[in-house]
Amino acid sequence: MTAGVLATLLLLTGGWFLWRTQELTGGQATTNRALADTEATSRVVGDVSGALGRVFSYTPRDTATPRQAARQLLAGKAARQYETLFAQVEQRAAEQRLTLTTHVVRAGVTRLTARDAHVLVFLDQVAERTGKPPTTTAAQLSVTAQLRDGRWRIVDITSR
């Protein structure tokens, strides 16, 4: 009787280990390159961080440079969101004499495939107005990027 119980227990344990092995080696675990491809992950972080810094930094005298960068670095929903937001910024930038500088503090890729990436980004934005001390604001974004023509372009931005 104890031999039968022991055999059943061994079979159940073996089945559980087989199930866990399949779960860890199949599906999302093997398709998420962020877990294993450090070169590709670094490239995504670099492209996304650089893009965010370029499109969300401006001076009262130069809003054309970030707008031009946005045309190259953003696509889809992110480009549409940016156009709506930045139209308002351009109207007020000169009158408010506001310089905004955006720095990515930390970024991590949560999911990466051959064409898509999801990146969690922590950034600081320093706002400077003439005659006033600069103020720093922290922000957290979820960014979706797609690989197009050898470069990661941001297609969606969600504030967290």
The predicted model scores a pTM of: 0.79
Query: Does 109 or 33 have the greater pLDDT score?
Result: 109
Residues in the chain, overall count? 160
For residue 15, name the pLDDT band (cuts at 50, 70, 90).
low
The confidence score (pLDDT) of residue 140 equals: 96
Cross-strand bridge partners of residue 151: 148
- Separation between Cα atoms, residue 76 and residue 156, nearest integer Å: 7
The confidence score (pLDDT) of residue 27 equals: 52
**Could you tell me if 69 and 78 are in contact, meaning their C-beta atoms sit under 8 angstroms apart?**
no
In tens, the pLDDT along 27-40 reads 555 678 888 899 99
**Chain center to CA of 69:** 17
**Could you tell me if 109 and 117 are in contact, meaning their C-beta atoms sit under 8 angstroms apart?**
yes
Burial group, residue 56, by CB count within 10 angstroms (0-12, 13-18, 19+): buried
Cross-strand bridge partners of residue 17: none
Does the pLDDT value for residue 41 go beyond 70?
yes
